[in-house]
Amino acid sequence: MQGVSGMLKIVHMAVNGNDVEVAIDPRESLLDTLRNRLGLTSVKKGCEVGECGACTVLVDGEAIDSCIYLTVWAEGRRIMTVEGLKGPNGELSPIQKAFIEEAAVQCGFCTPGLIMSAVEIVGTGKRYNRDELRKLISGHLCRCTGYENILNAMERIVEETYKVVGES
């Protein structure tokens, strides 16, 4: 499968903790590589212009829109998708559990991207209030929930994480 240029490029990256070597078209987005070449379908294809947040993944711990991030830029980097959050026996992460328990999931299309942003937010170890969280997720579009349950879930997980980090 070759692009117009006819030249494939080999990219090496760690995806969900596994070293991956993949041949890609140099113009290919990380979104397309993750979905189409690596089968990681939690990464959703929404707007394709970096506006909706459905394709959010972590690159070296930072939440990015994978639809406007070229795969070639991922050379040597660590990529994490929702598939990388599951525990050794397939159990859900605390963030995923909070989303379910707070009824923050409706159609589910925006959920993987929001969860990856939540992973980044929790990873800071900072305690955010609801208004700060609202600003932090402003790059995510959700047509179903009205955001309140999403914010409840994020508030809860930030609080739980902060308590644990604060105690250690």
Mean pLDDT of 95-103: 95
Architecture of the domain defined by 94-167: Orthogonal Bundle (1.10)
For domain 9-84, is the CATH number 3.10.20.30? yes
**Percentage of the residues of the chain whose pLDDT score is greater than 90:** 88
Mean pLDDT of 61-74: 98
Residue type, 140: H
Q: How confident is the model at residue 168 (pLDDT cuts 50, 70, 90)?
A: low
More confident position, 117 or 164? 117
More confident position, 165 or 8? 8
- The ranges assigned to domains in the chain are 9-84, 94-167
Contacts of residues 96-105 at CB distance under 8 Å and 24 or more positions apart, as own/partner, are: 98/153, 98/154, 98/156, 98/157, 98/160, 99/150, 99/153, 101/153, 102/149, 102/150, 102/152, 102/153, 102/156, 103/149, 104/145, 104/149, 104/150, 104/152, 104/153
| Helices and strands (H and E) in the chain: how many | 5, 5
At residue 82, the pLDDT reads 97
pLDDT above 80: residue 24: yes
What per-residue string of b and e applies to 8-47 under the rule 16 or more CB within 10 Å gives b? ebebebbbbeeebebebbeebbbbbbbbebbebebbbbbe
- Tokens representing 48 are 């394709």
Q: What are the pLDDT digits (tens) for 107-147?
A: 999 999 999 999 999 999 899 999 999 999 999 999 999 99
Mean pLDDT of 23-37: 97
User: Rounded to the nearest 5°, which phi and psi values hold at 62?
Assistant: -105, 130
pTM score of the predicted model = 0.91
**Percentage of the residues of the chain whose pLDDT score is greater than 70:** 95
